[in-house]
Each structure stands twice: as C-alpha cells, then as structure tokens.
C-alpha cells in the first residue's frame, strides 16, 4: 500500500492525501505520559487501523483528537483546518465522528430514536421551531428512512422500537456504529468496534466498512484482533507507551521487530508500559517505599 | 362528628395552590425527568418568580401583564446565573449550587436593609390585586355542598389550571420533537450526544431556563391566593415538589397534576382524620403534633410508593428497569 505514502515507511511518514495531521500531541496524567505522538498523518479515503497493547494510549489519543480531552501540548488539522481546542460537538459537526470503547447506548431512548440523534434536523432541534411539527416532520421522515436502512444493514431492524437499554453488549456496539454513520461523516473513528460482536456478524460488518471506504469515507479504528486488521486495513499505525512506534501495511507491520517487541511486552505477566509509567509516578510522588517496590517489579521484568 | 373535611379535602385537588405546585413540578420534570438536571432549588425559582411578580406589582405599580413578563425575565436570569458556572461541570455541581442559591434568596430577602422592597421576613401582601381587577366573574358564591368558592377564588383557579394545562401542552410538544430527543439523550449520556454533534451545554441551558420559568410562574401563581412569605420557600418546598414528581412519575407530562392533587388531598385528609382523633381523645397526641404527623404519613406513603411503584403512578415500569 505504498501509494498512500509520500516517503520512506517510518513512524510519522507523510501521506499523499492526509485527512488528519497531528503534531507534538502529548497528554500526561500526573507523572504518566499516556500520549506522546510526535507526528502522525491519517490517509484520506482509506481504512487505517490503530493498534497497540493495552494502555498504549489509543483511546486517550482518540479522546484528544475529538475534543473529549485536552492535551498538554500539540495541535492537529482535519481536512486542512485547525482542530485543537475545538469543542467535541463542533468536531463532530465538521465531519469527524467517533464511537466509544465503553459503549454509550442511550438506554431509555428507542433504537430508532438513538439513530435519529445521529443526524441533524436543524428546525426540529431549535426550541421554538420544535413547537411547529410542520417545520421538521419532512426532514424527520427522510432521516427515519435512512436510519431504517442502516438498521437493516446492522441487523437491528427487529429491535427498532425497543429501548436501547434492552440490547445486548454486541448489539449496542452495532447501534453505536450505525448511529455514527447517520451524519455521513468524512472520518469515522471506531474504538474497538468488533469487541463482543459474533464472528458471522463481524464478517458482514467488515464488508460494510469496506463499503464505506468505497463511498469515499475515511475510517480509523482501534482493534486488537489482528485477523480483522489484516483483512480490511490499508494502513496500520502502531502505538506503544503513548508514541507511534511503527507504521506500514498490515503485512510489513506484523513482522516489524518493534511491533513484536511492544506486543511481547504486553504478553508478559506485567505490561512493560505500565511498569515504566508507574515508575515515573513513583518518582513524582517521591515515596521511597512505592519507588523501591515498583523498581523491584521492573527489574523482575527482565530489564 | 363533622365529616365535612372529606369534601373539603377532595376540593384541595383543584385548588390554586395545587395548580401552583403542579406547575412548579412540571418545571422540575423538565429538569430532572427529561434532561437529567438535578435541580434541588426549584423553591428558589418559585421565590424569584414570586418576588419579581410582587415587587413589580406593588412597588413599581406595573400592570399585570408586565408583572408576568418580569416574572419570566427574572426566572430566565436566575437560570443563567445558576447554569453558566455549573452546567459544564459534573452533574452534582448543579444540585449543590441550586440548593444553596435557593437558600441564599430566601435568607437575603429578609435583610433589614431592603425591607422597603421585599418586606423583610413578613413578606409582601396584596400582589393579587391587579390580577383580581381583571376578574370577569360576577361576585358571588359558587360551588356544590360545603365546597364553596368566591369569585376571586374561582378566577384564580381557572387561570391557574389553564396555565398548568398550557405548560403540559408546551412540554408535550417539545418532548415529542427532535429537541426533546436531544435532551432525553443528554439525560442518558451527555458525552454520547456531544459525539453526535449536539451542543450539550446549550440544550442543558435551554432546559434549565424552561423548567425555571415554569417554576417562576408557579411562584407567582402561588401568591395569588395568599401573601408572599419568604419562609414558604425553604428547602422543604423543593422536597415536596420532588415528592409530587415521584408520586406522579418523573418522566410523565400529567404526573405532576395527579401527584400534586394526591399530595394535597392526602395531606388535608390526614389532617382531618387526625383532628377527629384528637378531638375524640382517641389519639394520644396534641393538636400541635398534628402538623408534623401529616408529613410523616406522606413520607411513609412515598416510601411505599418508591418500593412498590418506583416509576410513579403514571410512569412505565420498564423505564426503571433499564435505568443503569
Ligand atoms: N483519566 C485518566 N486518568 C489517569 N490515567 C489515565 C486516564 N485515562 C487513561 N489513563 C492512562 O493512560 C494510559 C493509556 O490509556 P488508554 O485508555 O488510552 O489505553 P488504550 O491504548 O486505549 O488501551 P486499551 O487497548 O486497553 O483500550 C493507561 O496507562 C491509562 O491507565
Ligand atoms: Mg482503549
């Protein structure tokens, strides 16, 4: 997939047609640096997977980019426009819509109402115009049609009028993803969309994601399942301990020593990233007891 | 034995005070039931509305429609004062600030320095005069049996309940619209709604203002049949409104009407029964203990309700089931 890049494959490599460009983005929680991304570009009209061990900072990075969290440093552009400091709802309106790792179904709204919230109905969402159904009925009907079509695709049509709270965990994931697509975003950011979805449905969802790409949408998704990544990703960005450690096509990335290293760390009893992070916290706290304890743990980890 | 208290107690169901409580509770339903805003200061909104109405009427001699307008404007301003600093923060901040603000209002109007404006701890009297001047009902005595109303009573009742029904209609129209969908979404998870491109802060503010204006108007309605007393607006008033809301159903349009009617009927029925018992020396209590015991009965009834029908009388059971 070298047609995506404009340079030698390396972490932070420039893309021919980037939709999202982030620079010097850092986020610290106390002494722990959760995100420290020097430079990364997400290619437009492609499917990019963001992978990395638990605690690598993927979700935090999503939160920063979408305005749900504030970085300590850094700025980024989306479709050429500055996006740092823009509130979350404006980010979504500009065409960058995300889903959450911990699913957020609106439990006491029906499935169809959840879907309708995904798009915008200018008149109906205005306090005064909302009192005049004639002002928003037509648009609502049009959106309902679109929502029903998406629900069919995501196999939720039989649940249409049920409370979202009655859905299973996997169904909630599907609902959240379908809801995010209601506004036809330019970039969808999915945080572990396949977690808890049964394999048969995963296949059909993957086809659906590929379809989104054919329609010109850009997809950035976090995923732990390497089969999924290999199957649909055009490009893979690997994060470990907050930084981008590797980038490339799925095949090259999975044989990259840096990636294997990061993942092996994760597969030991203790995550290297976690221990190293806690070491910094311990230093911050200047507590001899905690520090020696954590240092002992880190040493025991073979370093 | 005098059983007249029974029809009189049932008459409470349609009294203007019941209407005022219903109206304030509709506001609370907008806040708490539909938007998820935990407002513990609805009594404060009622006080702001009541004082705005009484002061513009009595001290500034404003005609009735302008005093009503002042009531609305004052409630809107109060909502902004409470909302701007708190609605961006976690939900608990609003509840702390509202409960404190309501108490600040109640205590500061009693300050001696502004006695000329607010009437200090004795309050203000006669705010209903401009309203009663508009009364088209010929003087007389209306009603059936022992339940009699004077023309001013009847006028207040008609206008009060018309206002309540209007508020129901307004809230119903909003809640079935996309606007209502957004605020209900905010109640469930405001980050999810934010991620879908909605300006959550603005919608929370709009809901706070709407419910606050209903509370303010209820405050004005509340003082039409009586004088304005600062101590009527203590935290217990807010908790009565919560009782009424939970009784009727926190996410229902007509729950507040039913809840308010039941609240007042039960309160005055139990008062009548206790009086009978005390007078006949059946109950081992004095008449001064009677007042608090009525509220113990109401509290007990509420406990049973929350245990056996947590969704309220008109609410849907399933909504309680899916509330995380
Ligand atoms: N609000 C917070 N306060 C303190 N630390 C946090 C907070 N959020 C995240 N962290 C820390 O930041 C690091 C990165 O977390 P993040 O959730 O971004 O990881 P992730 O890559 O999404 O992991 P996973 O694959 O398990 O979802 C973790 O070490 C985590 O403990
Ligand atoms: Mg995560």
Ligand 1 within 6 A of A101 CB?
yes
Strand arrangement of the beta sheet that strand A47-51 belongs to: A96-98, A187-191, A218-222, A47-51, A235-240, A243-248
Distances (CA, A) of A98 to A43, A47, A155: 17, 14, 21
pLDDT at position B183, please?
97
A128 interfaces chain B, CB cutoff of 8 Å: no
Q: Do A97 and B179 touch (CB under 8 A)?
A: no
Reply yes or no on whether the pLDDT at B130 is more than 50: yes
Partners of A32 in the beta sheet?
A: A29
Measured from the Cα of A277, ligand 1's closest atom is: 29
Q: Do A106 and B189 touch (CB under 8 A)?
A: yes
Instruction: Give the mutation target among A35, A49, A58, A192 for probing the ligand 1 site: most ligand atoms within 8 A of CB.
Output: A58
pTM score, whole prediction: 0.89
Q: Which residue has the tokens 């005390």?
A: B278
Q: Each residue of A281-291: pLDDT tens digit? A: 444 444 454 45
Ligand 1 within 6 A of A54 CB?
yes
Distances (CA, A) of B13 to A202, A228, B146: 58, 64, 15
Q: Each residue of A113-152: pLDDT tens digit? A: 999 999 988 889 999 999 999 999 999 999 999 999 999 9
Secondary structure (H, E, C), A206-222 = HHHHHHHHHCCCEEEEE
A168 interfaces chain B, CB cutoff of 8 Å: no
Mean pLDDT, all residues of chain B:
91
pLDDT bracket for residue A296 (50, 70, 90): low
Estimate the crossing angle of helix B178-188 against helix B200-222, to 10 degrees: 100
Q: Do B182 and A125 touch (CB under 8 A)?
A: yes
Q: Do B174 and A109 touch (CB under 8 A)?
A: no
Reply yes or no on whether the pLDDT at A277 is more than 90: no
Residue A204 and residue A17 in contact, taking contact as beta carbons nearer than 8 Å: no
Ligand 1 within 6 A of A34 CB?
yes
Q: Each residue of B198-241: pLDDT tens digit? A: 999 999 999 999 999 999 999 999 999 999 999 999 999 999 99
Burial class (CB in 10 A: 0-12, 13-18, 19+), B67: buried
Q: Each residue of A8-33: pLDDT tens digit? A: 777 888 888 899 999 999 999 998 99
- ipTM more than 0.95? no
- Give the phi and the psi of residue A270 in degrees, each rounded to 5: -115, 135
Q: Do A108 and B191 touch (CB under 8 A)?
A: no
pLDDT at position A76, please?
95
Residue B149 and residue B161 in contact, taking contact as beta carbons nearer than 8 Å: no
Length of chain B: 324
pLDDT at position B145, please?
78
Question: What CA–CA distance (Å, rounded) separates B291 from B270?
Answer: 10
At A134, list the tokens: 């004639």
Ligand 1 within 6 A of A29 CB?
yes
DSSP B138: P
Q: Each residue of A42-87: pLDDT tens digit? A: 999 999 999 999 999 999 999 999 999 999 999 999 999 999 999 9
Question: What CA–CA distance (Å, rounded) separates B287 from B174?
Answer: 47
Reply yes or no on whether the pLDDT at B292 is more than 60: yes
CATH superfamily of A1-105+179-251: P-loop containing nucleotide triphosphate hydrolases (3.40.50.300)
Residue A60 and residue A276 in contact, taking contact as beta carbons nearer than 8 Å: no
At B228, list the tokens: 């304005």
Reply yes or no on whether the pLDDT at A258 is more than 80: no
Express as a percent the part of chain B with pLDDT over 70. 98
At A210, list the tokens: 């590929």
pLDDT at position A175, please?
94
pLDDT bracket for residue A2 (50, 70, 90): low
- Give the phi and the psi of residue B154 in degrees, each rounded to 5: -65, -45
Reply yes or no on whether the pLDDT at B4 is more than 90: no
Q: Each residue of B242-276: pLDDT tens digit? A: 999 998 998 999 999 999 999 999 888 888 888 88
CA of B27 to the centre of ligand 1 (A): 40
Mean pLDDT within B49-76: 96
CA of A27 to the centre of ligand 2 (A): 15
CA of A133 to the centre of ligand 1 (A): 44
pLDDT at position B323, please?
62
Reply yes or no on whether the pLDDT at B1 is more than 80: no
Measured from the Cα of A63, ligand 1's closest atom is: 18
Question: What CA–CA distance (Å, rounded) separates B52 from B54?
Answer: 6
Question: What CA–CA distance (Å, rounded) separates A39 from A7?
Answer: 14
Reply yes or no on whether the pLDDT at A270 is more than 60: no
CA of A298 to the centre of ligand 2 (A): 23
pLDDT at position B322, please?
67
- Choose the closest CB to B322 out of A90, A165, A176: A165
**C-beta neighbour count of A215 within 10 angstroms:** 8
Q: In the A/B pair of chains, how many CB contacts fall below 8 A?
A: 109
Mean pLDDT within B4-8: 84
By C-alpha distance, which of B159, B182, B99 is closest to A113?
B182
Mean pLDDT within B161-168: 97
B202 interfaces chain A, CB cutoff of 8 Å: no
Reply yes or no on whether the pLDDT at A279 is more than 90: no
Distances (CA, A) of B107 to B41, B77, B114: 14, 19, 12
Instruction: Report which bound ligand comes closest to the CA of A55.
Output: 1
Where in chain A are the domains?
Answer: 1-105+179-251, 108-166, 267-303
Nearest CA to ligand 1 atom 17: A59
Q: Each residue of A194-253: pLDDT tens digit? A: 888 888 888 888 888 898 899 899 999 999 888 889 889 999 999 989 999 989 998 888
A140 interfaces chain B, CB cutoff of 8 Å: yes
Partners of A222 in the beta sheet?
A: A50, A191
Nearest CA to ligand 1 atom 8: A60
pLDDT at position A4, please?
80
Ligand 1 within 6 A of A169 CB?
no
pLDDT bracket for residue A108 (50, 70, 90): very high
pLDDT bracket for residue A297 (50, 70, 90): low
Reply yes or no on whether the pLDDT at A275 is more than 50: no
Reply yes or no on whether the pLDDT at B103 is more than 70: yes
């Amino acid at each position: 997939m070298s047609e995506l890049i404009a340079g030698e494959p390396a972490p932070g490599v420039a893309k021919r047609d980037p939709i999202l460009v982030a620079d010097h983005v850092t986020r610290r929680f106390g002494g722990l640096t959760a995100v420290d991304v020097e430079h990364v570009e997400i290619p437009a009209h492609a499917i990019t997977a963001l992978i990395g061990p638990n605690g690598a900072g993927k979700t935090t990075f999503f939160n920063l980019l979408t305005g749900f969290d504030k970085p300590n440093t850094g700025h980024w552009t989306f479709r050429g426009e500055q996006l740092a400091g823009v509130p979350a709802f404006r980010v979504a309106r500009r065409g960058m819509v995300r889903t959450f790792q911990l699913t957020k179904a609106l439990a006491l709204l029906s499935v169809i109402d959840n879907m309708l919230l995904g798009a915008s109905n200018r008149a109906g969402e205005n306090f005064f115009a909302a009192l005049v159904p004639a002002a928003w009925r037509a648009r609502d009907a049009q959106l309902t049609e679109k929502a029903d079509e998406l629900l069919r695709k995501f196999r939720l049509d039989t649940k249409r009028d049920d409370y979202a709270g009655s859905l299973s965990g996997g169904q909630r994931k599907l609902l959240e993803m379908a809801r995010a697509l209601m506004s036809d975003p330019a970039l969808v950011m999915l945080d572990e969309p396949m977690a808890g979805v049964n394999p048969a449905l995963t296949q059909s969802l993957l086809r659906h994601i590929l379809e989104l790409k054919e329609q010109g949408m850009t997809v950035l998704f976090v995923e732990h399942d390497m089969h999924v990544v290999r199957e649909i990703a055009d490009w893979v960005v690997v994060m470990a301990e907050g930084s981008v450690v590797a980038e490339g096509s799925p095949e090259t990335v999975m044989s990259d020593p840096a990636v294997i290293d990061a993942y092996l760390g994760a597969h030991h009893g203790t995550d290297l990233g976690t221990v190293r992070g806690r070491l910094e916290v311990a230093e911050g706290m200047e507590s001899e007891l905690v520090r020696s304890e954590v240092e002992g743990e880190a040493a025991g980890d073979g370093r | 034995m005098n059983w007249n208290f029974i029809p009189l107690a049932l008459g409470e169901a349609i009294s203007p005070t019941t209407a005022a409580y219903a109206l304030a509770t509709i506001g609370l339903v907008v806040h708490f039931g539909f938007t998820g805003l935990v407002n513990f200061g609805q009594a404060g909104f009622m006080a702001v509305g009541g004082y705005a109405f009484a002061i513009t009427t009595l001290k500034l001699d404003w005609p009735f429609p302008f005093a009503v307008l002042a009531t609305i404007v004052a409630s809107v301003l109060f909502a902004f004062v409470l909302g701007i600093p708190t609605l961006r923060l976690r939900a608990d901040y609003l509840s702390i600030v509202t409960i404190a603000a309501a108490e600040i209002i109640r205590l500061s109007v009693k300050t001696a320095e502004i006695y000329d404006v607010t009437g200090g701890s004795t309050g203000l009297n006669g705010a209903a005069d401009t309203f009663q001047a508009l009364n088209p009902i010929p003087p007389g005595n209306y009603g059936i049996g022992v339940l009699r109303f004077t023309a001013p009573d009847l006028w207040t009742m008609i206008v009060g309940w018309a206002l309540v029904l209007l508020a129901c209609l307004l809230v119903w129209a909003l809640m079935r619209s996309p606007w209502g969908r957004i605020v209900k979404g905010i109640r469930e998870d405001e980050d999810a709604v934010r991620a879908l491109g909605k300006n959550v802060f603005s919608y929370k503010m709009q809901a706070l203002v709407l419910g606050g204006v209903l509370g303010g108007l209820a405050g004005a309605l509340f003082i039409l049949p009586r004088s304005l007393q600062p101590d009527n607006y203590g935290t217990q008033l807010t908790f009565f409104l919560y009782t009424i809301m939970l009784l009727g159903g926190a996410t229902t349009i007509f729950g507040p009407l039913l809840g308010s009617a039941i609240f007042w009927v039960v309160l005055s029925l139990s008062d009548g029964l206790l009086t009978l018992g005390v007078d006949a020396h059946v109950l081992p209590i004095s008449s001064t203990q009677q007042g608090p015991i009525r509220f113990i009965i109401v509290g007990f009834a509420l406990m049973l309700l929350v245990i056996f029908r947590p969704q309220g009388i008109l609410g849907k059971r399933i909504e309680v089931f899916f509330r995380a």
